[in-house]
Structure 1
């Protein structure tokens, strides 16, 4: 199947130029001015629009079993909603239960994801430690293309990693050439603060941010970064929400440490006043972890993104509808943590980033696609407009506007944290694997069209760091 995007301005992570883009059999085969359309070729007119790499959301939770319920967006509905907003690939999370085999959990998630409309990869969480986890990490990295492993420093008595597990797992990542990632919140402090608030009768959503103050995140981010420093591994910190954790990242990067930071679109735009609403449904709809912060943190996060201390933007897309959130009506600790965003990430970042002058169009491409592709070993297959890359592209109208609403979005949730915002800059056409799957408001996502994306670990990097690790006499002996 041939598809020609004609008359647009290509924008990649470095530059922009006028060119047509010809796609064939799911790949980009030619880029240039006035390309001839092969016989029977589908034409997408992009005059006056930008042609950019499809978005990559490196942090989603489709169909996640969590806090006694299951996220309402599955792999089809969630990836289809992403396509409507210009996101063509996701990296989701396999989260084993404590004592569950990593391979068993991975196979379960692979089965759920077979219905995905867009391409997908997986981070795999390490939620406990023994010799079988050590072994499974090796199998996942070498046989299944898992290049990144997740560590929750929060959620005590559930999936929280203690320091021993962090050290063991980080060390194994070094051996494999894999990248450790962390959810940085001090789980013990969160647990104790939650107990104190409940003991005082403070049971509503307004207590959620009080139980997870910025210092709790900053401490955990700094601890994980320093553990990574001692071991000699790079590290990726997910959903950085506050100045304290941003400062820990910036300081380490300034010292030459390889630290990557991710920021959520929501944390850039929404402040903690949402938890003060007397409407439980509204306040609970914003409950996620880390929580939304006081406004000065949004300013700091934008500066971190502009300065390059934060490299990627994500959503932590994890949908729970009002009846599910109601499980915490009388106890905020039982409100399922999670918000939506995969459909709106690109538009809100363009409107508030490029539209405000904070980001250039090429910087927008970097933080919504290219950087994630490079960090997680998907580049140049993804994150680039170049011959040979996958034909995952978005035709972007920088002048068109839309108003975000739960009534019109494609996400399978009855709430939208960006409700009522009018944004300028939208995806008018989305191409995934060379197929036109979103065009002028018509969603043509195909169930099961998405492909699993294996990601190679770095053999040279693994070899070098294995030698360094061998010099650390106190390393875990598997």
Structure 2
């Protein structure tokens, strides 16, 4: 059915203006003043902003980790994302050494089939580089439309790749048109510090952070940036948590290296003191990189403001406190890494960023949507409000005040990392490809309505407009 969104204030990464939007056949077909169309459903956005749907470039849905599996799958995870104003997620497809990449990709297709209520794509983990892998990668890009590869520099003996693997991935990505993503922490040093802490009897959750200090993230970020420059390739640093890493990204960008940085809402508003909560409650806040001392928050906000960090991902990877996080009682290394962030990503950025004057409204849209579309081969199909773009639209009440809580969130997990936090701003209605997913704060979507996205190569789309 045709829809007309009326009386709202449209906000893109570059413009803010009042206009109506006509939606036909899943696309935006017209933007103009006082659009009237017989038979079209009118959606009143009076007093609200109209944003392009959020794009979350960093999720781990139904992900195996440490003998358990993250709680939110492609059903609950995408429903929660939609409630939060996100209409596209890009999930990480994990591979196993010695096994065909195609098997891993098929596993992720099976996990997501007929479940997602919003559109989704995959990143591909690269854990090894050999002739078999190199032979498979062209098909991964051309046939699957997976144009981003992730390399872990941490999790020794589990996910960690060596520097040769990282460098060869960068060289290959340059040739094939893919964007390399890194989890930048020095896994060898972390392994040493972790063993030392356990040997000394330090087992509480806070030691997860103390054995992964900012220096190991800064060092790995700088190393990855240098290798990117040497390979004349392109790099995206995920979940930047500290000033040390921001400095290395800034330094590399100033040298002309093609490097981009993402942070996450948890690093903008939470800090290491959360890991010190009594009765093992600190385990709720165990993820990697860990939460930092509070002073790092302003470094991250400043980097978003000045463009040295460009995107916000959720790093959604939820585990129940009871039955999963508590596997690590008596040994912090056994606490599953990750937290529930997918639903609150957009609202926290708006409330703490726009409402508090740290970023502009247009920067907000760029950080939570447009830049991700450009970097990951989805623009202008996604990430903007323009004629011909997918009708992925969020009607957002900028004045709604609410308290974040596990009692009211829509994730499948038994706690909220931001429990009790008062925020301003809420997605009221969310439209994906012209169809309501959330209507007046109620879920009205259909399982399986979200479709898999094949993405363009890095560099084929206009990434920068500075």
Alpha carbons of 1:458 and 1:320: their partners in 2 closer, same or farther (altered >3 Å)?
A: closer
Q: Write the distance in 2 (CA, Å) between the matches of 1:321 and 1:460.
A: 41
Alignment correspondent of 2:218 = 218
Q: Write the distance in 2 (CA, Å) between the matches of 1:240 and 1:159.
A: 19
Deviation per CA, 1:28-70, whole angstroms, max 9, x where unpaired? 111111001331x222110111101000000000000111101
Shift of residue 460 of structure 1? 7.0
Q: Bigger shift: 119-128 or 450-459? A: 450-459
Counterparts of 1:371-382 in structure 2, within 5 Å, are: 371-382=371-382
Q: Write the distance in 1 (CA, Å) between the matches of 2:9 and 2:460.
A: 38
Deviation per CA, 1:403-454, whole angstroms, max 9, x where unpaired? 1100110011011111111111111111111111112221123111111111
Alignment correspondent of 1:319 = 318
Shift of residue 304 of structure 1? 0.5
Shift of residue 458 of structure 1? 4.5
Deviation per CA, 1:337-386, whole angstroms, max 9, x where unpaired? 00011111111111100001111111100000000000111000000000
Q: Write the distance in 2 (CA, Å) between the matches of 1:166 and 1:458.
A: 18
Indicate if the aligned counterparts of 1:3 and 1:44 stay in contact, CA closer than 8 A. yes
Work out the number of aligned pairs and report it: 459
Counterparts of 1:24-173 in structure 2, within 5 Å, are: 24-39=24-39, 41-114=40-113, 115-173=115-173
Q: Write the distance in 1 (CA, Å) between the matches of 2:365 and 2:146.
A: 24
Indicate if the aligned counterparts of 1:2 and 1:38 stay in contact, CA closer than 8 A. no
Shift of residue 171 of structure 1? 1.2
Alignment correspondent of 2:408 = 408
Q: Write the distance in 1 (CA, Å) between the matches of 2:398 and 2:264.
A: 22
Alignment correspondent of 1:342 = 342
Does 2:306 align with 1:307? yes
Alignment correspondent of 2:330 = 330
Counterparts of 1:362-377 in structure 2, within 5 Å, are: 362-377=362-377
Q: Write the distance in 1 (CA, Å) between the matches of 2:138 and 2:24.
A: 36
Shift of residue 98 of structure 1? 2.4
Shift of residue 2 of structure 1? 1.0
Give 5+ residue unaligned stretches, structure 1.
462-478
Alpha carbons of 1:259 and 1:459: their partners in 2 closer, same or farther (altered >3 Å)?
A: closer
Shift of residue 159 of structure 1? 1.2
SS in 1 for 2:75: helix
Indicate if the aligned counterparts of 1:83 and 1:445 stay in contact, CA closer than 8 A. no
SS in 2 for 1:448: coil
Q: Bigger shift: 419-428 or 95-104? A: 95-104
Q: Write the distance in 1 (CA, Å) between the matches of 2:230 and 2:119.
A: 36
Indicate if the aligned counterparts of 2:152 and 2:183 stay in contact, CA closer than 8 A. yes
SS in 2 for 1:75: coil
Q: Write the distance in 2 (CA, Å) between the matches of 1:84 and 1:346.
A: 10
Q: Write the distance in 2 (CA, Å) between the matches of 1:404 and 1:43.
A: 31
Alignment correspondent of 2:293 = 294
SS in 1 for 2:324: helix
Shift of residue 150 of structure 1? 0.2
Indicate if the aligned counterparts of 2:427 and 2:441 stay in contact, CA closer than 8 A. no
Q: Write the distance in 2 (CA, Å) between the matches of 1:185 and 1:83.
A: 31
SS in 2 for 1:336: coil
Q: Bigger shift: 107-116 or 73-82? A: 107-116
Does 2:175 align with 1:175? yes
Alignment correspondent of 1:470 = none
Query: TM-score w.r.t. structure 1 length?
Result: 0.95
Moved over 4 A (4+): 458-461
